[in-house]
Structure 1
């Protein structure tokens, strides 16, 4: 786009022109803009230079627009409205929104969150596009450079001040196995776990994970001949669990989705590994003044709040 012709235009000149077109009087336009009449006359002179036209001529009833000024009268209000909207931002209308939001979250979070969230968004913003990414490293960096809009992940120990975060809940860890698995009888110990094969579920940014620390404890105690399966696909992991004697360390809330958790039970981890996993919703400050980002932040939190309330009712 060649912007050289715009360099000589002062936006205030266009505002003054709009006032002159509406008032048809230099003095009334000056009073409206809270400037003196000589100052408005100088502004009109500058407008004539910019547009190469007299724009107004004197008449019996103030000033009369030239044909060129009448053309501008048709276009200028729309232009000024667009500029005002550009500066202040559009009023956000979820129903009309056609943008895309990119959300990073693990598959086991998505299994619980996405069905009710997508239903909520479809009812309020049916043209909005949602793209989820389950395997992405360096999530804070990706949020900062705009590749991600939001991330829901296991809480980091520290967030730089340019990130907005909200703790969205926690889940106790569990040992997931099939119904009828030998581990469902008797005490769960690291020694007993060491005699069964392990499923490792990939977790993005897992260096911050309490869950991984438990896996590291297990790695120190596991039998060297013990088999394992590593996958980033939760549905695959659960299907393997249903059909084998593998076990999977994971958050207990996976069991809240009846369809996904069919035939799976959660067992209390060994006593030395009894802790909860904290989860955080994060976004970068670049979205602070974005109505879409603020609205989406609210929708995610409201959905999570509804899920928490539902879980509380089921356990009461």
Structure 2
């Protein structure tokens, strides 16, 4: 016998439990004739009697005793494989890895209270994106990515989390605010009079491609500081007369507190951004990841 079928394994286990062929056949849910045929085939396959007759019925041989743990493991693995998958956030113990920029963390925050209530064993690790983010999603190094990339490649899925406009951020005493109050607007020429903070964000491929599409005159601006993150740039804006261009929503609370001031970008610099939650199709059958993704999307509107 080249192949051991599942029913043969079940019969071996039943014989070890009952020590009787007829009783084992009932337990394994097969006719006695089938049980007898299978036992003969297994004796031939293993080149061992497997069970010998004694006063108490059929006793397992030494070979059968060594085989039994493996038989039990195979049957347990099969039963586990066939068991309908159940998922409960309350019992989930998992760390989800999200790749994003610092300004995209705002989309993660609103779901934290939901996680604390419904999935206390869940944690999140946020890592900085690099140019290999697609490879990392594909291989499972990352679970999700949040990015405003315009297109996602084959095999990737996405959901748009928000549609954001562009604004400029300055300190409360910046001279541009007086000009805004006087003229009702700030022009591109006004902006070019002052120094700027540039955020060289990652992935660098996206940063460079985005910069290449900027209006030619905007490229004439004087960049005084190149910062690694948007929030580090905001700290420098607060204590200088430098200007920072970024998406509107992440700085609105600073504006409310009076720490910083924002104003709308001139038409030629007003660009729409659509941050996307991106994942690879490999996670389509992962109920925990599907639940986590749905929770993030459902709460992103509160950001």
Q: What does residue 145 of structure 1 align with?
A: 139
Q: What does residue 270 of structure 1 align with?
A: 266
Matched, 1:220 2:217: yes
Select 1:121's aligned residue among 98, 101, 115: 115
Structure showing greater Rg: 2
Secondary structure at the aligned position of 1:169 is classed as coil
Distance (Å, rounded) in 2 between the aligned partners of 1:39 and 1:73: 21
Distance (Å, rounded) in 1 between the aligned partners of 2:47 and 2:259: 77
Structure 2 regions of 5+ residues with no counterpart?
Answer: none
Equivalent residue pairs, number: 295
For residues 1-316 of structure 1, what are the structure 2 equivalents within 5 Å?
A: 11-20=6-15, 26=21, 37-48=32-43, 50=46, 52=48, 54-55=50-51, 57=53, 64=58, 66=60, 80-86=75-81, 91-110=86-105, 112-160=106-154, 162-184=155-177, 185=180, 186=183, 187-205=185-203, 207-208=205-206, 212=210, 216-217=214-215, 220-223=217-220, 226-257=222-253, 263-305=259-301, 307=302
Secondary structure at the aligned position of 2:193 is classed as coil
Distance (Å, rounded) in 1 between the aligned partners of 2:40 and 2:258: 79
Distance (Å, rounded) in 2 between the aligned partners of 1:114 and 1:158: 21
Secondary structure at the aligned position of 2:39 is classed as helix
For the 8 Å contact 1:199–1:230, the answer to whether it is kept is yes
Q: CA deviation at 1:193?
A: 0.9
Q: TM-score, normalised by structure 1?
A: 0.75
Secondary structure at the aligned position of 1:188 is classed as coil
Q: CA deviation at 1:146?
A: 2.1
Cα 1:258–1:41 shift into 2, 3 Å = farther
**For each residue in 1:177-205, what CA deviation from the matched residue of structure 2 results, as whole angstroms up to 9, or x when unmatched?**
22232222232221111111111223323
Cα 1:34–1:9 shift into 2, 3 Å = closer
Q: CA deviation at 1:256?
A: 4.5
Secondary structure at the aligned position of 1:288 is classed as helix
Q: CA deviation at 1:245?
A: 1.3
More divergent stretch after superposition (291-300 vs 19-28): 19-28
Q: CA deviation at 1:147?
A: 1.9
Distance (Å, rounded) in 1 between the aligned partners of 2:138 and 2:110: 27
Cα 1:267–1:94 shift into 2, 3 Å = same
Distance (Å, rounded) in 2 between the aligned partners of 1:88 and 1:105: 36
Structure 1 regions of 5+ residues with no counterpart?
Answer: 1-6, 309-316
More divergent stretch after superposition (232-241 vs 67-76): 67-76
Q: CA deviation at 1:74?
A: 8.6
Secondary structure at the aligned position of 1:126 is classed as coil
For the 8 Å contact 1:108–1:234, the answer to whether it is kept is yes
Distance (Å, rounded) in 2 between the aligned partners of 1:259 and 1:64: 84
More divergent stretch after superposition (42-51 vs 123-132): 42-51
**For each residue in 1:181-237, what CA deviation from the matched residue of structure 2 results, as whole angstroms up to 9, or x when unmatched?**
2222232221111111111223323655799359822x634546x233222223211
More divergent stretch after superposition (279-288 vs 33-42): 33-42
Distance (Å, rounded) in 2 between the aligned partners of 1:71 and 1:262: 76
Q: TM-score, normalised by structure 2?
A: 0.77
For the 8 Å contact 1:144–1:286, the answer to whether it is kept is yes
